[in-house]
A = this chain, B = another copy of it.
Amino acid sequence: MTKAENKAASAPGAKIVAPTYEGDFVLDGELKLDCGCTLAFPTLHYAVYGRLNAARDNAVLVCHALSGSALVGSWWPEVFAPGAVLSLDRDFVICVNMLGSCYGSTGPGSVNPDTGLPYGPDFPLISIRDNVRAQARLLDSLGVRKLRLALGGSLGGMQALEWAIEFPQRVDRALVIGVSPLGAMGLALNHLQRQAIQRDPEWLGGAYLPQKPPRQGLSLARQIAMISYKSAPLFDERYGRNPDRSGEDPWLASGQGSGLIGGRFDIAGYLDVHGSRFVDRFDANAYLSILRTMDTWDPARGYASAQEAFGRIRAKLTLIGISTDWLFPAADVRRFAESLSAAGVQAEYREMVSDHGHDAFLAEQAELLRLIG
């Protein structure tokens, strides 16, 4: 585990659950991608928790979101709490770092075996389905033929659903939280974040050196993302119109550029801290790569119709919308569930009532448990 990953892993207030095993799986040969390119001998970094039972019917795949890692026991320890969704006594839990990420799986920072140089800006477009196909080869190697459950929120939910389409015989149930194909507002938010990175002169068209990354651009991108992960009522409750807690004065009059800039409000200080922390734990090109994976997800792509894609599904699906989600509005998730049902899929929709916005699936464990029974 890298220093950066270690930081990502820290979930304040929750007890981290250690994996049974954490390691790399190198795919034998090439992974042919949806975009037409190939990745030679790509690595999947993964972690497992618990043990596969003799009947091999206790496997669960947890899929992570944009900036997550394979260490689900670190970023979502609450799912392992007594009585929670998963149990280390019962389940064999697998979590795989996404391709394109910077937490151990092959991404823009990895060396391209064909050139001996890092991929950098030449890293190809990775689809959700590419991830799922690669994950399936890892599961083969682990002796896991069938998943009792595939689950995830946000980008993780895209993967869980794509599993049910791509490998219908291998998924009994999928839990898809706070996600639908990204709408125009979500695409807009990702466009803003992409520009924040691209316009940082340190980005150098993606060819920056690891020790000199586009810090300011990535920090601003993260801050733009943060406002879409939370909700206005939560921000009002926590930060309101308070001045920054370090003692800055938003009513500062003039001098040294402060006439135009001024001291920060508390919400601004909060965003700055999170932007800065994120730069210490994530890579800008990896961020750009996964933004595209998110943007381009269309479960019907490659099929004659959505009906044909959805018609493959055999798993029982539960889709959960979040009442204050701005990135993936609950109404969109509900409509998505309805379109799945209309295609004959066993898909039920449930709504999480929370002030936490998109991040509620991480923040509101009790409510999540109540919904999925």
Contact = CB atoms under 8 A, between A and B. Distances in A.
B260 A188 contact: no
Interface stretch (A9-17, A232-240, A306-314): A232-240
Given A124-B253, A191-B264, A195-B220, A184 B238 contact: yes
Contact of A292 (B124, B217, B260): B260
Contacts of A122: 254-255, 257, 259
A334 B254 CA distance: 34
Number of copies of this chain in the oligomer? Answer: 2
Contacts of A252: 35, 125
Q: Which of A181, A205, A259 is most buried by chain B, counting CB atoms within 10 A of its CB?
A: A259
A342 interface: no
B240 A206 contact: no
A181 B257 contact: no
Nearest to A126: B259
A343 to B, nearest CB: 19
Contacts of A188: 227, 235, 267-268, 271
A250 B127 CA distance: 12
Interface stretch (A45-53, A67-75, A171-179, A196-204): A196-204
Interface string A275-313: 000000000010011001001101000000000000000
Contacts of A326: 232, 326
A271 to B, nearest CB: 6
A241 B306 CA distance: 15
Contact of A195 (B206, B223, B298): B223
A104 interface: no
B124 A191 contact: no
A165 to B, nearest CB: 18
A329 interface: yes
A257 B271 CA distance: 29
A187 B285 contact: no
Contact of A268 (B191, B205, B220, B241): B191
Contacts of A223: 191-192, 195
A335 to B, nearest CB: 10
A353 to B, nearest CB: 16
A267 B35 contact: no
Contacts of A196: 196, 220
Contacts of A64: none
Nearest to A198: B261
Interface of A: 33, 35-37, 108, 119, 121-125, 181-185, 187-189, 191-192, 194-196, 198-201, 205-206, 216-217, 220, 223-224, 227, 231-232, 235-236, 238-241, 250-257, 259-262, 264-268, 271, 285, 288-289, 292, 295-296, 298, 326, 329
27 contacts: A108-B260, A121-B256, A121-B260, A122-B257, A123-B254, A124-B259, A125-B254, A125-B259, A181-B241, A183-B232, A184-B238, A185-B235, A187-B239, A187-B241, A188-B235, A188-B267, A191-B223, A191-B264, A201-B201, A232-B326, A232-B329, A241-B298, A251-B296, A259-B289, A260-B289, A262-B295, A265-B295
